[in-house]
Every structure is written in C-alpha cells, then in structure tokens.
Amino acid sequence: MDRMLCFLHILTGMNQPDKAWSCYLPQSPAAVAWGLYILDAGYTLIAPNTPYPPGEHPDDHMFCWENGRTLESFTLVYITRGSGKLESQSGGPHTINAGDLFILYPGEWHRFQPAPEKGWDEHWVEFDGEQARRIMRNPAFSPKQPVHPIGADDQILRLFIEISEATQTQPPGFEQIIATQASQIVARLLARLQYSSPETRDMESRIRRACLHILQNAEQTIDTPQLSRELGISHSAFRNHFKQITGLPPGQYQIQIRLNKARRLLRNTPLSIKDIAEQLGFESIYYFSRLFKKKTGCSPLAYRKQGAFD
C-alpha cells in the first residue's frame, strides 16, 4: 500500500453518536527497519442491527460473511462489548464474547461479525515485520487457537486506544511508538496465556521472591535447597521452574547479577579488579577475570580501559 488512508465516521443508533476510526499506513523504510510495523489500526462501535463490516476501508480489507477474506499480516482484534462469531481456516468456528481477543494469522482465510441483535465494540491493529514474525512464532500462538478470553484488561485496552490516537495525531516517531505498543499488547497477552491458572501465578510469585532474595544476597553463597524449602517447593521443582521463568538456572542467575554489578563497578569506581572480585564474592581474581571474559568477550581490565557500556 503506497498511501495512507484514514477514515473518521459517526455511528448512529446508539444513545449518543460515537466516533469510529481507522487508519491504513504506508510501509515506510524507517518503519520496516524497526522490525515491527503497523499496517492499520482503529476501533468501531457497532450498534445493534448495524450493517457489518461498516465502510469505509480499502478494497483488500473489506469482506462479506459469505466470502470471508485472507490477509498477509497479523491482526489483533479485541472485543470489549457485545458478542458475535469468528470462523477461520485452521481454528474453525468460535463464539466471540466481550473480553475475547482474537488473532488473524497471515494466509489464513477468516470471517467474523457481531451478533445483529447485540453488535459489539472492536479495537484492532494489523502488524508485520521480521521482529513480529519472530515474536509470533512463540508456541503459545497458533492459528488453531485464535481466540483468547482475556476478559476486561484495562492495560491492553489502553494500548489499543493509544495506538489509534497516535495514528490520528501522528507525533514525531509515531510509527516506532505504535509498533512498540503493539508488541506490548502481544507481551501482555503472552503473559496472560503463560500465567493464567492460579497455580501458575502462585509458582511465578514464589520464583520472583527467590529472584529478589538472590538479588539482595548476590555476593553471598546461596543455599538453594534451603531457599526452596522456605518457598515450599522441592529443590528439583524449584530449579525447573526457576529456569522456565527466568531463562537461567539459579546459580547462573546469581552469576549474571554479580557480573552486572562488576560492570558498574569497573565503569564508575576506582576499585581494583582484585577488590571488585572480593566484594562480589568471587573465590579469586583469576576465576573472576576468566568468567568475566567468557561472558563479556573482554577482560575486566580491557573493559575498564575501553570505557565500555552495556
């Protein structure tokens, strides 16, 4: 698409007129280089017994229920009022209720519409890009399960609204700003999917307490079996869940904290490398220097001389 199309229209038939907004953006080189770019975004408040989809939209985005359509990018659609239905090539038919967020996948035929007697309020953003494709390869996202009942999520709704507002005002750098906001929606959705059950949220809370304990005592030897007992978890379960949530085993997590502190001390203090190693609890300056070089690619002395920054 080589031009920007923006439509602002009034929907009648509700208690008060409400505006609906849609904006279709060109793929500028700067937006594409960002790795995640927005193709279109908007919202529509569909009153009961209102024709759907409403005008106006580009021809390649308009569709009717009988034929459906196929898009080449990802689209997030959040329904905040009303109900309706969705049908997609891989996911089949779904009933859509308020609080459902569904994903339209590239190359997937689909169709959706509100229930005529109820209508619905919809917010959407279409996006693509190399980074977007990497993000959406997460196993939690699948065309076979396009509907996610997240309920009333004020933070996600606010991000949709801010994206639409930015396409209206278009402040400097808005393309990168709204791309970042779209990735935040995906991140919040992913967090909902990964930590949806009370048991999972409880375990995540326990592991975060362990992370805080390690952070506050990074220079000390951490008795992980004792820590796991205090958290009410078996040691093996503690290690497995810790790595699943943080991406690192507890010991490596502690080492990473120590090395991050070492970088700051090397940059901002005149402490000798020996003093830094001792202060951070490393068994010797030789072990510290060898580990620092392995993890950062240069020795502590070279790092300090270069005035390197993370």
> What pLDDT is stored for residue 310 in this prediction?
41
CB 1 within 8 A of CB 58: yes
User: Measured between alpha carbons, how far is 145 from 152 in angstroms, rounded to an integer?
Assistant: 20
The domains of the chain, with CATH numbers, are 5-194 (2.60.120.280), 203-310 (1.10.10.60)
> What pLDDT is stored for residue 204 in this prediction?
81
Whether the pLDDT of residue 239 is over 60: the answer is yes
User: Measured between alpha carbons, how far is 100 from 98 in angstroms, rounded to an integer?
Assistant: 6
Q: What mean pLDDT is predicted for residues 202-219?
A: 90
> What pLDDT is stored for residue 47 in this prediction?
92
Amino acid type, 222:
I
User: What are residue 70's DSSP bridge partners?
Assistant: 109
> What pLDDT is stored for residue 17 in this prediction?
36
**DSSP string over 23-76:** EE----HHHHHTS-EEEEEEEEEE-TT--SSPS---TTT---TTT-EE-SSEEE
> What pLDDT is stored for residue 82 in this prediction?
95
Q: What mean pLDDT is predicted for residues 77-82?
A: 96
> What pLDDT is stored for residue 197 in this prediction?
64
> What pLDDT is stored for residue 8 in this prediction?
52
The 10 Å CB-count burial string (b at 16+, else e) for 53-80 is: bbeebeeebebeeeeeeebebbbbbbbb
Tens of pLDDT, residue by residue over 135-154, are 999 998 999 999 999 888 88
146 φ, ψ to 5°?
-80, -15
Whether the pLDDT of residue 57 is over 80: the answer is no
Tens of pLDDT, residue by residue over 80-133, are 999 999 999 999 999 999 999 999 999 999 999 999 999 999 999 999 999 999
Tens of pLDDT, residue by residue over 11-54, are 333 333 346 889 999 888 988 999 999 999 999 999 999 889 88
Tens of pLDDT, residue by residue over 249-295, are 999 999 999 999 999 999 999 999 999 999 999 999 999 999 999 98
User: What are residue 79's DSSP bridge partners?
Assistant: 122
Instruction: Give the three-state DSSP class for 235.
Output: helix
CB 278 within 8 A of CB 262: no
CB 65 within 8 A of CB 119: no
Tens of pLDDT, residue by residue over 160-204, are 999 999 999 999 999 999 999 999 999 999 988 876 666 777 888
